[in-house]
Amino acid sequence: MKPNYHLWLLAGTSILVVIAAMILPPVAQPAGYHHFADQRSFFGIPNFNDVTSNLAFLLSGGAGLVFLWRVHRNPAQTTFQDRKESWPYWVLFLNIAAVAFGSIYYHWTPDIDHLLWDRLPIVIAIAALLSATVADRISLTAGLWLLPLLMVLAVFSVLYWYWTELHGRGNLNFYIVMQFYSILLIIWISALFPSRYSHGNGVFQVIAWYALAKAAEILDERIFTWTDDWISGHTLKHLIAAFAAYWIVRVLRKRVLVTPKF
Element (H, E) at 153: helix 140-166
Q: Is residue 239 part of a domain?
A: no
Q: How many domains is the chain partitioned into structurally?
A: 1
Tell me, yes or no, whether 127 lies in a domain.
yes
Instruction: Examine residue 230 and state whether it is found in any structural domain, yes or no.
Output: no
pLDDT of residue 176: 93
167 occurs within a structural domain: yes
Indicate the helix (H) or strand (E) that contains 174. helix 173-176
CB atoms near residue 73 (< 10 Å): 8
The greatest distance separating any two alpha carbons of the chain, rounded to the nearest whole angstrom, comes to 60
Containing domain of residue 181, as a range? 46-194
In the chain (262 residues long), the average pLDDT of successive 10-residue segments reads 72 87 87 88 92 96 96 86 91 97 95 94 97 93 95 96 90 93 94 89 93 94 92 95 95 83 45
Q: How many CB atoms neighbour CB 8 within 10 A? A: 11
In a domain, 161, yes or no: yes
State whether residue 260 is helix, strand or coil: coil
Q: Which of 252, 257, 207 is nearest to 68 (CA)?
A: 252
Q: In sequence order, what are the beta bridge partners of 42? A: 45
Q: Is residue 146 part of a domain?
A: yes
